[in-house]
Amino acid sequence: METVTRIGEMQSHAEELRRKGAMIGVVPTMGYLHDGHLSLVARARKEADVVVTTLFVNPTQFGPGEDFERYPRDPENDERLASRAGTDILFMPATEEMYPAGFKTYVLTEGLSTVLEGAFRPTHFRGVTTVVMKLFHIVKPHLAVFGQKDAQQAAIISQMVKDMNLDIRLIIAPIVRESDGLAMSSRNVYLSPEERKNAVALFRSLRFAEDAVRRGERRVETIRNGMEEILRNAHVSAVDYVAFVRPGTFEVVERIDPPDILVALAVRFGKTRLIDNIVIPVS
């Protein structure tokens, strides 16, 4: 595996690979890699000739007072893990080169980026779409792999790719979980041992929703109340939202109708904010 830090070098590399006819796959990450990230690398490995994993803690997607400064970082371990998972090129740009003084241009997907996560983190998705667009122009990928863990992000990037006619195939890979069901996340390290135990309630509440729908329950409020009770019993300090939406459009649904529904939630344990979701088929 080769590590590239300069934007220009990555671009000429990508250009050369394209000239040779290589299919480039990209996996954007903020590092502190875990098996969720590595599953995306493995998926890219299957689909592409050259896998570029990007590692960049993107300041523009963090709001004031969020965890940008203390976001966990371990680039040396990330290099080992990325290489072992099948990365050919690890792209780790410097913040000063990605956002030099005088940076003024942002990419914004309207509507989708103001609901759920966007309502609690108003500038978050603008930062995400901006950095992903930049990474696409730097890595010049034919395909890109994102995780369903960040379902709204995946929907927004799909919309951006469509709206901006980007010639990039998106693959959305399933959520990788710990053995007790907690979705893997770099932010899980913030949890105290007690909070870590209680955090299984996120998945438990999503499974509760799945079971309820399977049993024929179609009332959103009834299911939401049951989910919130599970979360409260796990001593979450806040439930930011438990949302029932159409997958893809994130349009809020009043009733659970076929063919499927996405249940997404965000909770806090102290300062730590965790998100999770499930897509439930409805017959």
Binding residue (CB under 6 A) for ligand AMP from 56, 62, 136, 146: 146
Q: Of these, 118, 127, 147, 247, which contacts ligand AMP (CB under 6 A)?
A: 147
Query: Which residue, 32 or 269, has its beta carbon nearer to ligand AMP?
Result: 32
Element holding 172 (H helix, E strand): strand 169-173
**What's the min distance (Å) between Cβ of 67 and ligand AMP?**
12
Q: Which is nearer to ligand AMP, 178 or 228 (CB)?
A: 178
Of 13, 37, 140, 273, which lies in the binding site for ligand AMP, with binding defined by CB under 6 A? 37
Residue 28: asked if its preceding bond is cis (omega within 30°), the reply is no
CA 12 remoteness from chain centre: 28
Return the residue of 13, 17, 29, 133 that touches ligand AMP, per CB under 6 A: 29
160 near ligand AMP, rule: CB under 6 A? no
Which residues, 6+ apart, have CB-to-CB distance to 270 below 8 Å?
192, 195, 237
Q: Is 97 exposed, middle or buried (0-12, 13-18, 19+ CB in 10 A)?
A: exposed
Give the interface segment with ligand AMP, choosing from 103-111, 131-139, 142-150, 196-204 (CB under 6 A): 142-150
Instruction: Quote the DSSP letter at residue 5.
Output: -
Binding mask 238-277 for ligand AMP (x = CB under 6 A): ----------------------------------------
Number of other CB atoms surrounding residue 212 within 10 Å:
18
* 184 touching ligand AMP, by CB under 6 A: yes
118 binds ligand AMP (CB under 6 A): no
Which DSSP category does 101 fall into? Answer: T
Handedness of CA 79, 66, 35, 90 (dihedral sign): negative
Q: Which stretch binds ligand AMP (CB under 6 A): 3-11, 114-122, 180-188, 243-251?
A: 180-188
From 28-36, 112-120, 131-139, 193-201, give the range in contact with ligand AMP by CB under 6 A.
28-36
Interface residue with ligand AMP among 116, 132, 133, 183 (CB under 6 A) is 183
Within 8 A by CB and 6+ apart from 128, the residues are 58, 61, 153, 156, 157
Relative orientation angle of helices 124-139 and 7-19, to the nearest 10 degrees: 50
203 counts as binding ligand AMP under rule CB under 6 A: no
Residue 166 to residue 189: CA distance in whole angstroms: 35
40 binds ligand AMP (CB under 6 A): yes
Rg of the chain, C-alpha, whole Å: 19
Number of residues that bind ligand AMP (CB under 6 A): 17
Question: Does residue 7 belong to the site contacting ligand AMP (CB under 6 A)?
Answer: no
The catalytic residues are 37
Virtual torsion, Cα 70, 75, 78, 84, nearest 10 deg? 180
Tokens 């893997």, residue located? 184
Binding region for ligand AMP (CB under 6 A) = 29-30, 36-37, 39-40, 146-147, 149-150, 173, 175-176, 183-186
